[in-house]
Amino acid sequence: MDFNIKKICCIGAGFVGGPTMAVIADNCEETIVTVVDINKQKISDWNNSDLKLLPVYEPGLEEIIDRRRNKNLFFSSKVEQAISEADMIFISVNTPTKTKGVGAGKALDLKWIEASARQVAKYAKGHTIVVEKSTLPVKTAESIKKILEAASFNNEEKQFYVISNPEFLAEGTAISDLQNPDRILIGGENKKAVNKLADIYLKWNREEKIIRTNLWSSELSKLTANAFLAQRISSINSISALCEATGADIGEVSLAIGLDQRIGSRFLNAGPGFGGSCFQKDILNLVYLCNFYNLREVAEYWEKVIDINSWQKERISKIVVEKLFGTLTNKKIGILGFSFKANTNDTREAPAIQICRNLLEEGAKLLIFDPKVKPKQIKQDLINTNENDENIQVCTSIYEISKGVDAIIIITEWKEFKDIDWSLMKKNMRSPSWVFDTRDIVDDKEIKSCGINLWKLGSY
Ligand code: NAD
Ligand code: UGA
């Protein structure tokens, strides 16, 4: 395999494919990077001259796109052409939970992975390194290899090398995570192929950051990392409920335990439950795999992480109803934050969706504000509640959500929510007024001095 990687193709221009390829293109100016997608609208949005309209919002992304787009970074819907010209192909397509058939509700739906592998098998030319970038169940490379080997059988000219290179970026910090990753994991049998990919990362990373493993360890490490991270959140959220019952304070408990170096301080923020497209689907997949390998106890252990996460969202909704005298009928409630975390426009599995649905079901009218999520997206996420649209009003400013509301719930930790003038908000609110802070954003004294009742997650 004595060729240089001159052209890279990435199948999937989503939250991972777009930012990851942008950072590769930015660091490897000699390499042509083409990101392809079957979604033509998405490609057109990536090519939009107004950088504010890119399909993904990430701090620092616009600058890189501005620098590299149409120089050595291209977004295209010509999937076949990009595959046929590439020396290295990243598969970065979506792998959501299956909704029907065998493993429905737990296993990952690999139809987009299989379709990508078949396209690569058909259109790739010469020797091609195929990189699994999507998060996949352990052993998926076996299926990808089978599809590719069928196309390269008895054909010395056309050869494939499959390697695994899971992505660990978090949304909202994707660019800095990509520019300065904790580690880069590459799993594969063919050392030369592994080294070709390592060479790309070495353009801006030190060798010590690169971990080389076998394929299966690489695939499984990704699922395990997400399961461990999510487990920390469920652990701290479970303790937040105990704090509320006893007078302990979750912020103080997090600080106290996090200073133990064996525990560490990160990922100990209690909140409304983890959201995002991956934690839940990846743990469900882990549960499915454990059951598949007859490891029932292990499956049950990880399933509890998800149970606590769902319980946290239900618990918060119930507390709001209880505090507002047991009924929300015709009451207005302001919602601050809809994305699943700050600094992203992504709402997939956002805790706000479930909490809003619960409140709508109780008869509330919602006034919702998020600095980055488009109104259309918010409505789309809530529409199947069978509630009519009149009960959902998407606002364009923080202060607008306070008009006539009995309560305001802070669900996402956007930094602008820290600077709210609560005396102004209070003027618009109905009395008695409530603020429900699920992210430890507000200053207790300030809220109380404005005559607003405060419920803070994890506080007495
Ligand atoms: P996404 O839905 O944002 O993007 C996937 C894209 O792939 C979509 O635009 C879709 O149209 C496209 N696609 C699907 N099949 C295709 C095909 N055959 N040809 C061309 N394009 C095709 O998903 P994402 O959030 O980018 O996640 C991708 C993968 O990365 C998933 O496996 C996910 O678990 C993993 N991951 C995600 C994150 C994250 O923060 N979002 C982080 C690490 C890993
Ligand atoms: C997560 C992982 O952090 C990434 O390493 C991984 O690559 C990615 O999933 C993936 O595979 O998709 P992401 O979901 O983008 O990244 O964001 P996180 O920062 O992990 O937050 C996930 C959820 O947990 C958010 O809803 C966030 O608000 C919540 N969270 C996080 C807490 O409630 N408390 C915390 O202390 C940290």
* pLDDT means over runs of 10, the chain (460 residues): 88 98 98 98 97 94 98 98 98 95 93 97 96 95 95 91 98 97 97 97 98 97 98 98 97 98 98 97 96 98 98 98 97 98 95 97 97 94 72 96 98 97 97 98 95 96
pTM, full prediction: 0.96
Which residue is closest in CA terms to ligand 2's atom 10? Answer: 278
Q: Supply the residues annotated as catalytic.
A: 167, 222, 278
Q: Which amino acid is at 30?
A: E
Tokens of 67: 């620098």
**E strand or H helix at 132:** strand 127-132
- The three-state secondary structure class of 443 is coil
- Count Cβ neighbours within 10 Å for each residue of 73-98 and write b for 16 or more, e otherwise: bbbbbebeebbbbbbbbbbbbbbebb
* 174 to 42, 124, 219, 246, 342: CA distances (angstroms): 19, 30, 20, 38, 12
Q: How far apart are the first and last CA of the chain?
A: 64
| CA 116 to ligand 1: nearest atom | 18
Q: What is the pLDDT of residue 390?
A: 87
Rounded to whole angstroms, the Cα distance separating 60 from 52 reads: 12
DSSP secondary structure letter of residue 50 = S
CA 424 to chain centre: 34
Q: What is the pLDDT of residue 385?
A: 55
Question: Quick check: CB of 371 below 6 Å from ligand 2?
Answer: no
Å from CA of 112 to ligand 1 middle: 9
Helix ranges restricted to H, 273-397: 279-292, 296-323, 351-361, 375-382
| CA 166 to ligand 1: nearest atom | 44
Å from CA of 276 to ligand 2 middle: 7
Rounded to whole angstroms, the Cα distance separating 357 from 317 reads: 9
Q: What is the pLDDT of residue 386?
A: 55
Å from CA of 96 to ligand 2 middle: 16
Q: What is the pLDDT of residue 454?
A: 98
Rounded to whole angstroms, the Cα distance separating 365 from 356 reads: 10
Tokens of 122: 């058909």
**Angle value at C-alpha 439, between 438 and 445, nearest 5 degrees:** 90
Tokens of 120: 């690569």
Spatial contact of 457 and 410, defined as CB atoms under 8 Å apart = no
Q: Which of 280, 275, 319, 257 minimizes the C-alpha distance to 457?
A: 319
Tokens of 135: 């998060």
Å from CA of 277 to ligand 2 middle: 9
Question: Quick check: CB of 171 below 6 Å from ligand 1?
Answer: yes
Q: Phi first, then psi: what are they for 384, rounded to 5°?
A: -80, 25
Which residue is closest in CA terms to ligand 1's atom 30? Answer: 134
Rounded to whole angstroms, the Cα distance separating 385 from 390 reads: 12
Residue from 93, 132, 144, 223 to probe ligand 1 pocket by mutation (most atoms less than 8 Å from CB): 93
* 20 to 26, 51, 72, 90, 207: CA distances (angstroms): 10, 17, 14, 10, 19
Rounded to whole angstroms, the Cα distance separating 248 from 273 reads: 20
Q: What is the pLDDT of residue 383?
A: 80
Rounded to whole angstroms, the Cα distance separating 328 from 330 reads: 6
Rounded to whole angstroms, the Cα distance separating 371 from 345 reads: 8
From the CA of 122, the nearest ligand is: 1
Q: Which residue pairs from 449-452 have beta carbons closer than 8 angstroms and sit at least 24 positions apart in sequence?
A: 450/422, 450/423, 450/425, 450/426, 451/426, 452/422, 452/425, 452/426
Tokens of 228: 């461990």
| CA 168 to ligand 2: nearest atom | 7
Rounded to whole angstroms, the Cα distance separating 179 from 176 reads: 5
| CA 177 to ligand 2: nearest atom | 5
Question: Quick check: CB of 36 below 6 Å from ligand 1?
Answer: yes
Q: Which of 221, 229, 215, 216 minimizes the C-alpha distance to 302?
A: 229
Q: What is the pLDDT of residue 443?
A: 94
Q: Which of 181, 165, 167 minimizes the C-alpha distance to 215?
A: 165
Question: Quick check: CB of 284 below 6 Å from ligand 1?
Answer: no
Rounded to whole angstroms, the Cα distance separating 455 from 80 reads: 55
Q: How are beta strands 210-213 and 184-187 bridged, if at all?
A: parallel
